[in-house]
């Protein structure tokens, strides 16, 4: 099986669908169905591509530096496969949500969903899959921008609505700023190292000395670029506005897919391109970022009245928890990031994937218009649709990190890593933030079950979505009870 298969399948399918739809051969809804089929094929192909014990590299550079021969642009290992499956699953669920919201009545200012709304996520998925395999700053940059620029379009998709355009413009300006920092950082790192490949850079700088000042500066600039993608303080300013203004399926995509894309490149660069000595540069910076994200994200979420804004701030908090797991480097002669840290990041993201996408699926159904996104609209949801209320409750409790739900496993992993690597201050801050998180998550749960609804009309849910929601609830509990699932997934 060719290793580039998932990316090629997605891109080719997207191009064919684009042409077929433009020439009127196929309806928007069937484009959505075909996109789901393509994603399913890509998932199967990825699952059945074997993983060796050592990372495998493709497109090698014949002029590579001494000792790095055979390490090229594209890398295939267990981590790449796990994140590819993660991104494909996210995209599939997002397209499902889009089809769900297409089936709902449209407001006067909203456009009906067109075929491009299903096709663009395919390009995003292809870019994210490529990111998971990037072994070179050039591939990293191009695939990251494929993801980001497509997101600019998706965020501002409802172009008759002022809020969507405002969200799009804000995302573009801050995203462009992050891109500029990323490129400048890459220029310094690659320029002084004389190569863009991760293997070449680590071969040059994995010495007992500290990093040269210019390279350290470049690394910090790269971290600014990634900090934007993962929405961590102080690069989170776009998140609340963009999450609120974007169509709900795209908000879900940003909150899960884009965040995970930021984390995979972050751990890849810190692990593959820089060794343990670089920890002296990025360790303190990321510790500060993680602490600020934890506090600001969780405490700002308490005061939100719009559920998408609340989840945006809580997402900033979750970035803080995941960064706590990333901060596991600096062991002399060890890897850039310890295996325990890599596993904790992957497990946290997997639990976040389940919980967050379930929550957004419910929000897509309950809040078809911006007016219905206020948390008050969720009062008494239990009386209107028990299944939706149960699903949202399960996902929110999981996000809060209460056993036996999946989120608990993720949080546990992050806390264990923090203790293992002696980040006691961060551990303390994270514990307080987690308790603050309980307040706003459980506030919504309480309102759903014990408040009187604003309106009593029951909400209809289509049968396939009912099945999907049931599966998601089951997974949220099952993975929380049986942690070995994650060990198998990451293997």
Instruction: State which of positions 290-329 bind another protein (CB under 8 A).
Output: 303-306, 309
As measured in angstroms, the least distance from the Cβ of 462 to another protein is 8
The only residue of 152, 299, 427, 449 in contact with another protein, by rule CB under 8 A: 152
To another protein, the closest distance from the beta carbon of 301 in angstroms equals 12
Q: Which is nearer to another protein, 309 or 411 (CB)?
A: 309
Which residues are CB-contacts of 245 (< 8 A; sequence separation ≥ 6)?
A: 155, 161, 163, 164, 165, 166, 167, 168
- Which of 44, 67, 160, 446 is in the footprint of another protein by CB under 8 A? 160
Q: How many residues bind another protein (CB under 8 A)?
A: 71
Q: How far is the CB of 300 from another protein (least distance, A)?
A: 10
Q: Which lies closer to another protein via its Cβ, residue 70 or residue 191?
A: 191
Considering the complex, state which of residue 325 and residue 366 has its C-beta at the smaller distance from another protein. 366
- 76 φ/ψ angles, rounded to the nearest 5 degrees: -125, 115
Q: Is 187 in the site for another protein (CB under 8 A)?
A: yes
How far, in Å, CA of 28 to CA of 83, rounded? 29
183 counts as binding another protein under rule CB under 8 A = yes
Mark the segment that binds another protein (CB under 8 A) among 81-89, 184-192, 224-232, 324-332: 184-192
Residue 212 or 425 with smaller CB distance to another protein: 212
The CB-based long-range contact list for 262-265 (8 Å cut-off, 24+ gap) reads: 262/226, 262/227, 262/228, 262/229, 262/230, 262/231, 263/230, 263/322, 263/326, 263/345, 263/349, 264/79, 264/83, 264/131, 264/132, 265/131, 265/134, 265/140, 265/144, 265/226, 265/229
- What number of CA atoms fall less than 13 Å from residue 124's CA on the CB side? 32
Q: How many residues does the chain have?
A: 491
Binding residue for another protein, selected from 67, 70, 194, 425, defined by CB under 8 A: 194
Distances (CA, A) of 362 to 297, 393, 397, 450, 460: 22, 10, 14, 18, 12
Shortest gap between Cβ of 66 and another protein (angstroms)?
A: 16
- Residues 354-413 touching another protein, rule: CB under 8 A, are none
Q: Are strands 74-76 and 56-58 parallel, antiparallel or unpaired?
A: antiparallel
Query: Binders of another protein among 234-273, rule CB under 8 A?
Result: 240-241, 244-245
CA distance 218 to 273: 13
Shortest distance (Å) from residue 343 CB to another protein:
33
Q: Choose one: 185-193, 258-266, 384-392, 483-491; the region binding another protein (CB under 8 A).
A: 185-193
Q: Report the site for another protein in 210-229 (rule: CB under 8 A).
A: 210, 212-215, 217
Residue 460 C-beta: closest distance to another protein, Å = 6
User: What is the DSSP code string of 440-459?
Assistant: HHHHHHHHHHHS--S--PPP
The span from the CA of 153 to the CA of 188, in Å, is 30
Residue among 218 and 291 whose Cβ is closer to another protein:
218
Q: At its nearest, how many Å lie between another protein and the CB of residue 28? A: 5
| 8-state DSSP, 59 | S
Considering only residues 74 to 103 of the shown chain, the ones binding another protein according to CB under 8 A are 102-103
Residue with Cβ nearer another protein (178 or 346):
178
In this chain, which of 30, 49, 111, 451 binds another protein, going by CB under 8 A? 111
Per CB under 8 A, the list member of 13, 94, 190, 326 interacting with another protein is 190
Q: Phi/psi zone of residue 59: left (φ > 0), alpha (ψ -120 to 50 degrees), beta?
A: left
């Amino acid at each position: 099986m060719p290793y580039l298969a998932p990316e090629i399948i997605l891109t080719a399918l997207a191009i064919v669908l684009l042409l077929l739809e433009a020439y009127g051969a196929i309806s928007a809804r069937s484009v959505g169905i075909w996109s789901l089929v393509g994603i399913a094929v890509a998932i199967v192909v990825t699952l059945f591509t074997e993983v060796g014990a050592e990372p495998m590299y493709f497109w090698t550079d014949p002029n590579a530096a001494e000792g790095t021969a055979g390490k090229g642009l594209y890398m295939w290992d267990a981590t790449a496969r796990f994140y590819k499956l993660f991104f494909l699953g996210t995209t599939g669920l997002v397209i499902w949500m889009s089809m769900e919201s297409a089936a709902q009545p449209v407001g006067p200012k909203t456009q009906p969903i067109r075929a491009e709304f299903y096709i663009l996520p395919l390009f995003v998925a292809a870019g994210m899959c490529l990111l998971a395999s990037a072994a070179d700053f050039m591939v990293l940059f191009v695939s990251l921008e494929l993801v980001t620029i497509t997101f600019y379009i998706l965020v501002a998709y409802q172009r008759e609505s002022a809020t969507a355009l405002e969200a799009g413009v804000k995302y573009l300006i801050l995203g462009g700023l992050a891109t500029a920092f990323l490129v400048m950082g890459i220029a310094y790192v690659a320029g002084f190292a004389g190569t863009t490949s991760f293997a070449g850079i680590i071969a040059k700088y994995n010495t007992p000395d500290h990093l040269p000042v210019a390279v350290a500066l470049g690394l910090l600039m790269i971290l600014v670029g990634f900090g934007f993608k993962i929405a961590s303080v102080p690069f989170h300013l776009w998140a609340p506005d963009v999450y609120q203004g974007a169509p709900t399926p795209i908000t879900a995509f940003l909150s899960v897919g884009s965040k995970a894309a930021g984390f995979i490149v972050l751990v890849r660069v810190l692990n593959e391109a820089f060794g343990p000595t670089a920890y002296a540069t990025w360790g303190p910076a990321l510790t500060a970022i993680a602490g600020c994200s934890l506090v600001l994200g969780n405490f700002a979420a308490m005061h939100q009245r719009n559920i998408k804004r609340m989840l945006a701030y809580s997402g900033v908090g979750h970035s803080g928890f995941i960064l706590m797991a990333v901060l596991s480097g600096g062991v002399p002669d060890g890897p850039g990031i310890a295996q325990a840290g890599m596993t904790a990041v992957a497990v946290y993201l997997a639990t976040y994937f389940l919980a967050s996408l379930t929550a957004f699926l419910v929000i897509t159904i309950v809040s078809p218009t911006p007016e219905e996104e206020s948390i008050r609209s969720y009062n008494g949801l239990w009386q209107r649709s028990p299944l939706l209320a149960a699903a949202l409750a399960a996902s929110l409790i999981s996000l809060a990190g209460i056993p036996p739900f999946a989120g608990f496993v993720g949080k546990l992993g992050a806390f264990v890593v923090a203790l293992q690597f002696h980040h006691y201050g961060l551990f303390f801050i994270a514990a307080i933030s987690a308790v603050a998180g309980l307040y706003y998550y459980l506030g919504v749960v309480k309102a759903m079950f014990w408040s009187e609804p604003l309106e009593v009309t029951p909400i209809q849910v289509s049968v396939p979505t009912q099945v999907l929601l049931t599966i998601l609830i089951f997974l949220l509990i099952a993975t929380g009870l049986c942690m070995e699932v994650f060990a198998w997934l990451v293997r």
